[in-house]
Amino acid sequence: MTGFQRQARHNGGRVRTPTQIVAIHRWLGVVLCLFMAAWFASGAVLMYVPFPALPAAERFARAGDVDVSAVSVTPAEAIRAIGSSPPITSVRLVDRLGRPLYVLQPRGSAVSAVWADDGSPAPLQSQEDIRRVAEHFAGAKVNRIDGPLDFDQWIVHQGFDSGRPYFRVQMDDDAGTVLYVCVRSGEVLQRTRRVERAWNYVGAVVHWIYPTVLRRNWAAWDQVVWWLSLAGISVVVIGIWLGIDRTAIALRRRKTQISLFRGWMKWHHVLGLCAFVFVFSWIFSGWLSMDHGRIFSMPDPTAEQVDRFRGMALVDAAEHVGLEFMRTLPAFRELDIKAVAATPLAIVRSDDGRRVYTVNSEPSYVGDSVPLPLIKAAVENAWPGSAVRHFGVVPGDDRYRQVRQSRLSESTVRAQLDDPRSTWVHVDANSAEIDSVMDRSRRVYRWLYHGLHSLDFPALVNRRPLWDVIMLSLLTLGFSFSVTGAVLGIRRLMRSVRSSRAVAS
């Protein structure tokens, strides 16, 4: 009879914990406690060093003004040059090394670029042009150019898919900067620095199980992390039941002790009793990060809803933006063609801010954001079976404006629908795009995931350093508990190997 079985007897009877349950907890814990310890430790790193990302605002700040006088190709002609099937979802006029360039994004396909001065394709191929693009962006000399390459640890996310392949450009600067330049458009879409990369190898890469060889296959990565997290939940649930059961036995026997174990087993038992609520909620919420529509709804609008929101194809909207209009504009760094409620728009961005024009019959300046009546009409078109019950800019004291993750910007407009799911449609009035669709299911998901996983609640997350102290304390507790489980598991495994060798000899 094992120690577990002897200690499971109670009230003078022969009732015991099923040995299969104990075995499942023990052997799954051999592997999973190491993962859990790594998750807790890397979670602390992620609090302060997120996965590298190049902010759009910084990309814009480093861009040059578009030479409109050199533009001889209209947006509609540029779209026709690459074809409008699949539908175009983004049309931008930008600058590349002093030449005007259209960057076009077909739905579900790779991005394309067309020179706005002669209409020819504009992939980035010349080593000299790659060097010039990188040096202009970083303000430093190029040390090395690799590629083109499809995948790398820092561009493995599917958000980079439309721009693949990339040139990886190492800069000769003190920060060890590496830029990722899109071959198709010539834009710098990712930047990493030496310190970021070092911390992320023990932070995000470990925490998200993000090695390139696995993460490049999204479906395989999704399944591995989902099932691994679910197994972690099973181990924790079984451990909670076993821990409470052992405590009940100890209290019946000695009244004053909560554990009959010794050494590492006692530490594992006691720490588990202290940490089980947090450990369970953290592993459970981490598992929810891999939900991807399995249980809860997704926040993205459907392609049909986006099309109805626009009310017209972007290729048709582009027909209204002519060369004469562009040449009347003050200096700008980007012209973005949009459509909202069947109204073609031109959003012009410069150092001075943003200017929005309607371009139906003739251009008309309407302000620095899309007019609210236009957005409301677009939402009503996109959700034809539902009425807009409440509508307006999200106020500053809204709880979704006071969180870290899923935070709403100051330009977010919310349309609350009267549908059975109590859907909220969030639209960015600056970009004329649907930011998110949050029905009741998605709102519950937000609090179960971000709320439980990182204590991302309005009353706490912005109270620093209180939030830091609480998070680090809980992560340390979870890490310590996981280490005791890993030690016990490794010891048990070693004893099993020695026993097997003894039998074999």
**Looking at per-residue confidence, does 7 or 88 come out higher?**
88
Q: What is the mean pLDDT of residues 335-348?
A: 97
* Token representation of residue 176: 């060890």
Q: Which of 498, 486, 356, 494 is nearest to 433 (CA)?
A: 356
pLDDT of 4 higher than 50: no
| Residue 227: C-alpha distances to residues 24, 33, 173, 221 (Å) | 16, 15, 42, 10
- Coil, helix or strand at residue 170: strand
The arithmetic mean of pLDDT across residues 48-73, rounded, is 95
Q: Cα(181)–Cα(197) distance, rounded to whole angstroms?
A: 18
Q: Residue type for 148, please?
A: P
Could you please report the per-residue DSSP string of 463-502?
Answer: STTHHHHHHHHHHHHHHHHHHHHHHHHHHHHHHHHHHHHH
- Pairwise CA distance, residues 485 & 111, whole Å: 49
Supply angle C-alpha 209, 213, 218, rounded to 5.
Answer: 70
Q: What is the pLDDT of residues 86-124, one digit of tens each?
A: 899 999 999 999 999 999 999 999 999 999 999 999 998
Contact yes or no for 400/416 (Cβ under 8 A):
no
Statement: residue 305 has pLDDT above 70: yes
> pLDDT-derived band of residue 196, with 50, 70 and 90 as boundaries?
very high
Cα–Cα nearest to 192, from 203, 178, 202, 204: 178
Report the number of secondary-structure helices (H) and strands (E) in the chain: 18, 15
Q: Which two tokens stand for residue 427?
A: 């639209």
Rounded to two decimals, what is the model's pTM? 0.90
Distance CA 43, CA 475 (A): 8
The residues, any chain, with a CB within 8 Å of residue 310's CB and separated by 6 or more, are 317, 338, 339, 340, 341, 342, 378
Give per-residue pLDDT as tens, 361-390: 788 999 999 999 999 999 999 999 899 999
pLDDT at 255: 64
pLDDT of residue 251: 82
Look up residue 380 and give its two tokens. Answer: 């009503």
C-beta neighbour count of 250 within 10 angstroms: 18
**CA-based end-to-end distance of the chain:** 25
For the chain, the structural domain boundaries read 56-202, 303-438
Residue 407 and residue 399 in contact, taking contact as beta carbons nearer than 8 Å: no
| CA pair distance 63, 84, nearest whole angstrom | 27
Cα pseudo-dihedral 181, 186, 188, 189, rounded to 10: -80
DSSP annotation string for 372-393: HHHHHHHHHHHSTTS-EEEEEE
Phi and psi of 199, rounded to 5°? Answer: -70, -35
pLDDT of amino acid 9:
44
Mean pLDDT, all residues of the chain:
91
